[in-house]
Structure 1
Amino acid sequence: MTLAPEPLTAASNPPVEALEANLGPGDVIRRSATLAADLPAPTRQLTQVAKLIDVSKCIGCKACQSACIEWNDTDPEIEHNVGSYDNPHDLTPEMFTLMRFTEWDNPETGDLEWLIRKDGCMHCADPGCLKACPAPGAIVQYS
């Protein structure tokens, strides 16, 4: 007959040495709110950024979409969409920028046109999509 080992308790665990001498104030705040009640919360410098996309100048090359993946070092899942230029299908935690395309039959001209829309975050202070876009003035950043 085999006995189950006794569960570890506070009395049987080895003592924990004080680590605060090796940590900075930010480390203590991140690890435990109870140890750092008297320390100020770390401040974060936020820069207000406005990024405007002029879809009338967009050529639909998806360079911004590819640049965003590389710039943010993400690895979105590759999808297979038959009959659609949209790939991937939607934004994901690994896909921050997505160019959406809609085919539209223009009643005035009778032509089939693509309507392009850029979906995505606006979090980059130095966006890769802005640098990769080959269409002059399609993406403009104001700070």
Structure 2
Amino acid sequence: MNGFQKIILFSASIILIITFISIGLAIHNSRSISWPPLVPSCPDYWLIDGSGNNTKCINVRNLGTCQPNSSNKHLIMDFNGAPYVGSNGNCAKYTWANNCNLAWDGINYGVSNPCNSQQPSNSTTNSSNFFDWFTTKKNNYN
């Protein structure tokens, strides 16, 4: 090999090594990034109506098994109040989405079950006693 070919081969080898190191570092650093980077306010393919804490989620494609009440054409949900907020909010959303047979990125799709990762708490709105909490609230109004 003459000198020019050695320089080209050496340069290409250095560029290849730098590329492999860069890819390795990118893969290593991506492990610490939470997934998904942004959890949507509504289940997949639902319409978000409003903004901030005044959003409503509308099932315009009538996906899943949960049906709207008789006065609405589409199921409308508000995930801004109990039990869907707070430390057990994702667990309540997970349970609801699974019961309705819906996919929701970051809630019941692409992540582990958020109900398993939470420690038991004294909160009256955690998923294990949500129906007891709902019944108690309902009975308090009667």
Common topology (TM > 0.5) = no
User: TM-score w.r.t. structure 1 length?
Assistant: 0.23
Higher RCO, 1 or 2 (CA under 8 Å, sep at least 6)?
Answer: 1
User: TM-score w.r.t. structure 2 length?
Assistant: 0.23
Higher helix share: 2
Could you say which structure has the larger radius of gyration?
1
